[in-house]
Structure 1
């Protein structure tokens, strides 16, 4: 018997239909071991050795899987093709013990199709120890930060707050953006615009140059003075120019860009997008959805060209298939970009019941169109620029000029299939923005002045982050990895450190308070550049260029002094506030003592075993005066 272990039951069922007799497909349902919840679980003195325990509810499943592993003639560990999947496979082998040279292989399914599954099983590899070490290093660092920093935040701020190595950096981005908005001072300027007409077509021109003057004006009186002059002036064409511009298609989706576009185009949260993408992957509809690669397999490009030629015509087919390069720092190129597995299957054609969710169908449609568009020809535009002079007459011009720009789509190219949602900044050139049209004009042509007006404009503060924009910022700064973006945003929402208002993230009082503490007491750990460097170091561990031990020791040397200082500060804050009062009751959750204490929102009853026990209840008392640290 040949045993294949995957993560999800849905995937196991799909693969079982491909393999037939002689194969047994089982699901481990994700991670089977992790660090304990109730204690640190990392022996710092013993080279940061993790102390793994069985996850709750996994005992019977693991016992069954271990028996099957020992019984099987061959074992194929086919958990997800990433660091987490590699670690799950390693944990299963550790629990199985000595297998006495039993053939054990690692199979990576980048797509759940019969062809991909058969190919992966025919060409397995050994377990990648470097990937396992990288996952372990990340888990240990995250545990050290979360477990050691969170209690200090609680003690210092007298509230139940928690820190996370990457989630708190995401929170910092939201908080600092809010601070920028609060500190912003608007600046008002004035410009001059003219509505002109030629051959029955009206168009807009803007003041372009004015001798010895800044444009736009910083003084409204200057603009009004010029306006008086222009109302008696003539306008004529000084120079015209036309160029052809190409707008290239965007590459296929990565995890980050899929989350961004699905948020703007479909209104899906990053967390929901990843859940739907997981379902589509397990159904064999799309390739693996956790990737920052934009590479495309040659066979996929070949099928795409056949579809484009058949459905849209040869004109939409480029001479050669485009080759895209990842723009993300430290991009992992082992996977393909996210694309349909069966490219020839148009989005509207779904087998009965295969895509039960309308949102899943919409997401598949988005992925299909983005991929097909990425393999098509560019869109072509004719861009027109007109320089306009003004004066009493053409013989007596004023020392100023206006400029009008227009652009006309002459060939739609990839736009036949796909166009980015308007408010997603996904790398589209500034010139790709539609800027209107102007009539065909000749040099020296007199233009009819329809109107001239002063246009007042004010600089605006930066926008709050939407969920899509925050994901984009996390990718830009190198914070986290594609598989973590959705969970980072979900966590700060769940913990109510941010709230969503009009589709934008706004930090709460607790979020701002926690962020201020972390930046003040742990300036390095929660710094964006430092976090990005640590991610790059974890990538080096994954590639075998850096040892797990060296990374963790380097991290600890920088972290420990900040931890010591923050601990001393927390103790001074605890001593300066009223002590918690025992109320003579035991905790209904863990049996510990219950105390009455004050938090930011008033007096409450909590368990002395926090943070391992999170039981609380209200006392009904009114909030007392905030401690100075809480009101900061």
Structure 2
């Protein structure tokens, strides 16, 4: 009984902390959560008259959820599969120590994990203490272990309340959606609200009618041959609004008759303050915009940086900075940027209302560490670290100073204006910008200077709808509406993408039809679930539970009472006011196989035509379907394509813009956006522009059978008509068909290092690689060396011979292996020495290998 046990969540975190604690501490990891609510399936019962009574269904649901909302929220937890070994090890060590430090993360989830660990390990409760730290450094660890505490049960209650609500919504609504709409659907307390944001933006864009307008710019010249460009802003003391080319011509005629001179010039000195240090949401947005990282990837990389001790805790909505951190930042600025960039007093940033946590903003733990060693951490993590470091230093620097110059020209009938900003002192922007200060002589133009027209530039423009959301703007919108917490944004966006409720094109979110149908139904029958204000208020209530201001069970009772009332109404038959079924809308088109009518069907894979004979008995059943190609998928920028005005056909019943699809080159169908609730559709005949992949007859590269177009959860693809073959080819974003995949090539002479298996050469999204032939039993993979490919060149297809002919070693004799350039989607080669890249690489350009040596 001489050592203490320290339990953290992550093995990497355990390894890092172990460096700072002495021999009297044993540091172990729980590897995340160890328990979750039970999800037991009810046992089968003999068929009796009352077997499926309401009480039985209620009992069955309670067993499945692991919570009983009817009996004071009794709950039942179970050990997560695969965690038994970890728990047994922790129990054994716990019996041999005199103190157990629960050092899980400092948010609600971390608090809940600490409580679960205490409950599962058991024993003397006085042995357990809670310890939290915002960064993994010697100073922070020492301070944390000098200020131990106990588990905050109110924060645990808040986490449980959120988990129970999410479990109720998921387990009660999902089966209803399967029955009423289609299998595979699910609803989430927060995810559905996020989806609603995207769907409503989609509807706004679809129903938007562009309006023409014009802007006029005039280039005026002084007698000294100096030019200045001004915008015409007013005509006869009213804001100038031009809606047609005819109006523009009339205004230009009148402009040419005017005489011009500068009537007013204003010079203002303005300051632009630095932005606050990163919190979770602003880090996610900045990472998306500046580095192109997804929210999920950003949080993954930030987690690694935190666990390795490079940054402070990455789940925070607090802008607070410790005095010690500010002092180090100010010293760094003074020593590296001079006293001119250092404000007299530190810059202090206020937290937003309802800020959940009291810990620090995201910052580097060591401000002197500007660049991380590439051998210690992934290159993308280094980029994220540099972004965090720059933001932290910048937030403690002086504001940017600039001069705002506004020049006005007023004539008898017109007002013209020109504005520009000139940077006088870079301030905090010096960290981000390397451009030199622009010199501008304000004496070039003076009041009463006579000016002459050199050129009039009319610009035709069209009003635009609000832009589609990307990850950064959706995070900003979620934060603005108070939906979810920054720590949950990554999981929210990932879930609605993985479920197929939205698709991503060129980093923009597009709502799918099934996503629109889901939100339409939820808005009608579960109004509170997708109501922005209701969801935001619930987040505030969870915060109040954390601070012991309200009872967690009272919050759950109010939520469940309201939810249950809506649920009971929704599950009634549609004729009794219940949720409307996702019906098949029969059309005038006939099935090519059985001549029965084809119907419009909406499923999780999209909108398609299905034979009405599908639901008949097995002997008469017809499974014929026709894929519909959304006209949005066609490149409308090409010449002789469909006119965009034709796409704006309106439903005669709903007066909303109809969705348009191609059936084939000669048939187009318009479907009301409110389908299947609205059954209006139109079929149009003609000759229509179609995507490249529709105009090609594709044969399977394996068995030479025809390949047919299908639309799946993750987009369009071709699949071999031979049911035994099942070969597939993807449709790329540009409409082209992907090249055939490389067939796995056995390399039995090249053995794995971690098992008795041998390697197989495979091709994935990151090029070719070696994988164990016993996958998934052995998951060993690695990049092939050039010498290996050269030795077995006879096994390779011709398209890979260029790799086999590449240099086998670099100038220093280091082995060369195959790498993949993600940006250009091409293979290249590089050398390694003692497991580390040397900086030597070569690229295959114009049929020859071009060597690039970084050193």
TM-score, normalising length: structure 1:
0.86
Quote the residue 2:375 is aligned against.
353
Quote the residue 1:51 is aligned against.
76
- Whether 1:61 and 2:83 are equivalent positions in the alignment is no
Quote the residue 2:401 is aligned against.
380
- Whether 1:12 and 2:14 are equivalent positions in the alignment is yes
- Whether 1:228 and 2:228 are equivalent positions in the alignment is no
Quote the residue 2:103 is aligned against.
78
Q: Contact 2:514–2:602 (CA<8 Å) still a contact in 1?
A: no
Shift of 1:465: 0.2
Shift of 1:440: 3.5
1:556 to 551, 560, 567: 560
- Whether 1:286 and 2:300 are equivalent positions in the alignment is no
CA 1:512/1:228 → structure 2, altered by over 3 Å: closer, same or farther? Answer: same
Structure 1, unpaired ranges of 5+? 391-397, 421-433, 579-596, 605-618
Q: Contact 2:528–2:534 (CA<8 Å) still a contact in 1?
A: yes
1:622 to 621, 624, 635: 624
Quote the residue 1:455 is aligned against.
459
Measure, in 1, the Cα distance between the counterparts of 2:441 and 2:678.
Answer: 57
Give a deviation string over 1:430-453, Cα, whole Å, max 9, x none: xxxx9x997632110112321123
Alignment of 1:499-514 (within 5 A): 499-514=503-518
Alignment of 1:396-435 (within 5 A): 398-418=412-432
CA 1:620/1:545 → structure 2, altered by over 3 Å: closer, same or farther? Answer: farther
Q: Contact 2:513–2:602 (CA<8 Å) still a contact in 1?
A: no
Measure, in 1, the Cα distance between the counterparts of 2:84 and 2:92.
Answer: 12
CA 1:440/1:16 → structure 2, altered by over 3 Å: closer, same or farther? Answer: same
Measure, in 2, the Cα distance between the counterparts of 1:190 and 1:61.
Answer: 69
Measure, in 1, the Cα distance between the counterparts of 2:602 and 2:220.
Answer: 69
Quote the residue 1:491 is aligned against.
495
Shift of 1:183: 1.3
Q: Contact 1:156–1:629 (CA<8 Å) still a contact in 2?
A: no
Give a deviation string over 1:270-297, Cα, whole Å, max 9, x none: 0000000000000000000000111111
Measure, in 1, the Cα distance between the counterparts of 2:567 and 2:537.
Answer: 20
Alignment of 1:511-530 (within 5 A): 511-530=515-534
- Whether 1:255 and 2:280 are equivalent positions in the alignment is yes
Shift of 1:49: 2.2
Measure, in 2, the Cα distance between the counterparts of 1:577 and 1:454.
Answer: 52
- Whether 1:366 and 2:387 are equivalent positions in the alignment is yes
Shift of 1:370: 0.6
Measure, in 1, the Cα distance between the counterparts of 2:185 and 2:170.
Answer: 11
Measure, in 1, the Cα distance between the counterparts of 2:153 and 2:129.
Answer: 13
Alignment of 1:99-498 (within 5 A): 99=124, 102-198=126-222, 199-211=224-236, 213-327=238-352, 329-346=353-370, 348=371, 350-351=372-373, 353-355=375-377, 357-390=378-411, 398-418=412-432, 440-498=444-502
Measure, in 2, the Cα distance between the counterparts of 1:180 and 1:352.
Answer: 46
Shift of 1:520: 1.5
SS where residue 19 of structure 2 aligns?
helix
Q: Contact 1:513–1:630 (CA<8 Å) still a contact in 2?
A: no
Measure, in 2, the Cα distance between the counterparts of 1:620 and 1:58.
Answer: 48
SS where residue 19 of structure 1 aligns?
coil
Quote the residue 1:36 is aligned against.
38
Structure 2, unpaired ranges of 5+? 41-63, 585-600, 612-620, 628-670, 681-855
- Whether 1:547 and 2:569 are equivalent positions in the alignment is no
Measure, in 1, the Cα distance between the counterparts of 2:573 and 2:152.
Answer: 43
- Whether 1:21 and 2:23 are equivalent positions in the alignment is yes
SS where residue 30 of structure 1 aligns?
coil
Q: Contact 2:501–2:514 (CA<8 Å) still a contact in 1?
A: yes
CA 1:200/1:307 → structure 2, altered by over 3 Å: closer, same or farther? Answer: farther
CA 1:351/1:575 → structure 2, altered by over 3 Å: closer, same or farther? Answer: closer
Give a deviation string over 1:568-619, Cα, whole Å, max 9, x none: 14797799989xxxxxxxxxxxxxxxxxx99666899xxxxxxxxxxxxxx9
CA 1:226/1:437 → structure 2, altered by over 3 Å: closer, same or farther? Answer: farther
Measure, in 2, the Cα distance between the counterparts of 1:620 and 1:319.
Answer: 80
Shift of 1:300: 0.4
Give a deviation string over 1:410-441, Cα, whole Å, max 9, x none: 11000100369xxxxxxxxxxxxx9x997632
Measure, in 2, the Cα distance between the counterparts of 1:18 and 1:270.
Answer: 31
Q: Contact 1:227–1:453 (CA<8 Å) still a contact in 2?
A: no
- The alignment of Structure 1 onto Structure 2 pairs a total of residues equal to 574
CA 1:352/1:502 → structure 2, altered by over 3 Å: closer, same or farther? Answer: closer
CA 1:326/1:439 → structure 2, altered by over 3 Å: closer, same or farther? Answer: farther
SS where residue 218 of structure 2 aligns?
strand
CA 1:524/1:437 → structure 2, altered by over 3 Å: closer, same or farther? Answer: farther
CA 1:14/1:206 → structure 2, altered by over 3 Å: closer, same or farther? Answer: same
Structure number with greater CO (CA < 8 Å, separation at least 6) is 1
SS where residue 102 of structure 1 aligns?
helix
SS where residue 415 of structure 2 aligns?
strand
Measure, in 2, the Cα distance between the counterparts of 1:365 and 1:66.
Answer: 41
SS where residue 316 of structure 2 aligns?
coil
Give a deviation string over 1:84-109, Cα, whole Å, max 9, x none: 0000010111112341x533211112
CA 1:456/1:320 → structure 2, altered by over 3 Å: closer, same or farther? Answer: same
CA 1:212/1:238 → structure 2, altered by over 3 Å: closer, same or farther? Answer: closer
Quote the residue 2:735 is aligned against.
none
Measure, in 2, the Cα distance between the counterparts of 1:467 and 1:307.
Answer: 34
CA 1:440/1:319 → structure 2, altered by over 3 Å: closer, same or farther? Answer: farther
Give a deviation string over 1:525-568, Cα, whole Å, max 9, x none: 11111100000100000111111011101111211111111111
CA 1:437/1:226 → structure 2, altered by over 3 Å: closer, same or farther? Answer: farther
**What is the alpha-carbon root mean square deviation over aligned residues?**
2.7
CA 1:503/1:171 → structure 2, altered by over 3 Å: closer, same or farther? Answer: same
TM-score, normalising length: structure 2:
0.64
Measure, in 2, the Cα distance between the counterparts of 1:69 and 1:460.
Answer: 64
